[in-house]
Amino acid sequence: MSTSQHFEHSFHALGSEYVTPTAATPVSAPKWLAWNNRLAEQLGWPEAWGHNEQTLITLAGNGQFEGSQPGSAAYAGHQFGNYNPQLGDGRAILLGEWRRPDGQLFDIQLKGAGPTPYSRGGDGRSPVGPVVREYLMSEAMHSLGVPTTRALAAVATGDPVYRQQLEPGAILTRVAKSHIRIGTVQFFAMTRQGKGLKELVSYVTQRHYGAALQKAQALNPQATHAQVLLNEVTRALANLVAHWQSLGFIHGVLNTDNMLLCGETVDYGPCAFMDTFAAGQVFSSIDTGGRYAFGNQPGIVHWNLSVLAQCLLPLIDEDQEKAVAVAQKSVDQFPTLFTDIYSARLAAKFGLDAMRDSDHALIESFFSQLEEDKLDFTLAFRWLTEVANGNMDATILESLFTPSSGLLNWQTQWSNRRLQATSASCEHMKTANPVVIPRNHWVAQAIGMAEAGDNELMETLQSRWQDPFNWHAGDEQFAAAPKREEQVHRTFCGT
């Protein structure tokens, strides 16, 4: 397919040790599952490559965009704390980079497009379920304001994929600021590819944190790319996990190969949003020890950053003691950065102008009350929003959420604290506490229907979740907590 616009290939240009040429494997009967016209417009994607038959064929791997250079990338990673030296894009193929009209560069990747040199005997495919989940979840996360990869399209292949049983196959077109991971750095550090590691770090720093690099080197000409990268990734990941915690999102598989250096959420395999609040909540079927439980996420991200720091030591300073001191200082920023960002997000959620030291006990007692009374995380916060704004009679929330006696007692303390807040803080609550989130039971229903060839619910959910902070007609369904028989207790990677 031809257009006057074109792909770029700055990552490919680093060399074959970074990206191995890899062709997609054709499929038998491609069919649209979804096309994200809103994202296409934001990318400045050519109309000729839009929602049409030729684009469908190309995104299914049966054709190729002019100027694309399909390839798969190497990376390693710690999986549940255990190091695996050889992972890589086992089912993903990078087509190239696309420059948005504002100059921002994005990777365009096909996920589930067939075997690659890193498939390790796998088929390189994905069932419909994981594709639908990632499409819906990543777009909902974007609308909630969370840094995330996005989904341009989802295509059914017409071919079966065997996992626990035969399932219909699909391919996701994923868009990211880049797919370079902590695990990518690990691969080059652990294989002792010093030149490759240095080039990678220089590339990533300039691509994602060029302004920070210029600023750091203006203040200190000796500042290295590695030092700046570690500082900026620490900030980006503190911001990311603070977003997750403020919304009740559980990633489920926070291995180092699932942490992007650009600070976006990636790999939505066993992810889920909490319904009833529980600090130790786990959904992922493979997280049997609770390593990646909701309350553990900040600590795990901090641990992953320490792995990144260790890999970067040779590039931070030739003197190992100095390098360790600099790296330690960077990584040690994480708890404070996370706490500051998370506290600011909590202040907005509770309708406070700013967090005071005395507020922490009030907020902890709120979460304890939610857990004790098994109350819905999202609805409880929206209840606070409507109470603060005097809107309870004007919304359907009263029929969806009944506060416990303990929560009503807590409300008295909170209302007294809010007497010192400004009216603007009420407005901030409306954009901090969503009406709807991508509830697990709705995602599961959409997957079931898509597997049967019906995309209607998938389209409905995508549309509704684009505006999560406002009430819509029909939210008696979409804002409600799941009924007992609808609750999802376990999620699966599925790919």
Could you confirm whether 467 is annotated as catalytic?
Answer: no
Structure tokens at 296: 């553990």
Furthest-apart CA pair in the chain: how many Å? 66
**Catalytic annotation, pick one of 257, 267, 275, 287:** 257
Q: Is 77 exposed, middle or buried (0-12, 13-18, 19+ CB in 10 A)?
A: buried
- In Å, how far are 20, 55, 103, 119 from 98, measured between CA atoms? 19, 16, 9, 26
369: which residues sit within 8 A by CB, 6+ positions away? Answer: 375, 404, 406, 407, 410
According to DSSP, the β-strands at 150-162 and 31-35 are antiparallel
What's the 3-state SS for the chain? CCCCCCCECCCHHHCCCCEEECCCCCCCCCEEEEECHHHHHHHCCCHHHCCCHHHHHHHCCCCCCCCCCCEEECCCEEECCEEECCCCCCCEEEEEEEECCCCCEEEEEEECECCCCCCCCCCCEEEHHHHHHHHHHHHHHHHCCCCECEEEEEEEEEEEEECCCEEEEEEEEEEECCCCEHHHHHHHHHCCCHHHHHHHHHHHHHHHHHHHHHHHHHHCCCCCHHHHHHHHHHHHHHHHHHHHHHHCEECCCCCHHHCECCCCECCCCCCEECCECCCCCCCECCCCCCCCCHHHHHHHHHHHHHHHHHHHHHHHCCCHHHHHHHHHHHHCCHHHHHHHHHHHHHHHHCCCCCCCCCHHHHHHHHHHHHHHHCCEHHHHHHHHHHHHHCCHHHCCHHHHCCCCHHHHHHHHHHHHHHCCCCHHHHHHHHCCCCCCCCCHHHHHHHHHHHHCCCCHHHHHHHHHCCCCCCCCCCHHHHCCCCCHHHCCCCECCCC
- Catalytic residue set: 257
